[in-house]
Amino acid sequence: MLDKNGIAKRIAKEVQDGYYVNLGIGIPTLVANYVRDDIEVEFQSENGVLGMGPFPFEGEEDADIINAGKQTITTLPGASFFDSAMSFAMIRGQHVDLTILGAMEVSENGDIANWKIPGKMVKGMGGAMDLVASAENIIVAMMHTNRAGESKLLKNCSLPLTGVGCVKKIVTNMAVIEVTSKGFKLLERAPGVSVDDIKNATEGALIIEGDIPEMKL
């Protein structure tokens, strides 16, 4: 079973040379720590920066340079700033190559729910609906089950949707799964996790073909 850093490490292997990548808040943010350093990747933050660098050293922070989580950041050589309309032009116009975000639920047809729990204070969708409606390549980073132990990979999402039929791949603490027209296709197992464990933790249709290899991290 993987922890959050393990999930981030596995997803980092999906990031390819020349990619522009948008990282959501939570586990996705950790992905930046594990991207190979022999490839060129630029991170986009929807509040208006491309070419995000690490957090600043203490005393070097700038209130005018933050990420979408409102954290102080730095920029790397070649970075650029832009307004919110241009930022979402990059996203909606499919100029960003890869979007990695968290989810509360994903359904076997690729629907995603990650912004609202009825009865609880709703904070808003931020840029999530724009991201999932447009990105060609969306990877969801999440735990396989919720705190109550219930599957987050469902036949149908029970929570209000963020987007429909958009998720392509899911990396959880247990597995790597591809979303196909026939349902969740199991690609890889996390170390120490059996195919049966994954089956038991997945409510939606799970397609298992041949031997399922263990993830290489």
Partner 1 sequence: MINKKVDNISDALKGVSDNMTFMFGGFGLSGIPENAIADLVKRNIKGLTCISNNAGVDDFGLGLLLHQKQIKKMVSSYVGENDEFERQMLSGELDVELIPQGTLAERCRAAQAGFPAIYTPAGYGTEVAEGKETREFDGKMYVLEHAFKADFAFVKAWKGDAAGNLIFKGTARNFNPVMCGAAKITVAEVEELVPVGELDPNQIHIPGIFVQRIFQGEMYEKRIEQLTVRQKA
| Binding residues vs partner 1 (CB under 8 A) | 45-49, 54-58, 60-73, 81-85, 87-88, 91-92, 111, 121-130, 133-134, 160-165
Comparing CB distances to partner 1, the nearer of 14 and 61 is: 61
Note whether 202 and 149 are within 8 A (CB).
Answer: no
What one-character DSSP code corresponds to residue 18? T
Residue 111 contacts by C-beta under 8 Å, 6 or more apart in sequence? 156, 157, 161, 163, 164, 165, 166, 167
State the minimum distance, in angstroms, from the CB of residue 130 to partner 1.
3
State the minimum distance, in angstroms, from the CB of residue 53 to partner 1.
10
Comparing CB distances to partner 1, the nearer of 94 and 194 is: 94
Is 46 considered catalytic here?
Answer: yes
Comparing CB distances to partner 1, the nearer of 5 and 16 is: 5
Select which of 14, 40, 42, 46 is catalytic: 46
Tokens of 54: 């690490």
Smallest Cα–Cα separation from 89: which of 141, 149, 46? 46
Give catalytic residue positions. Answer: 46
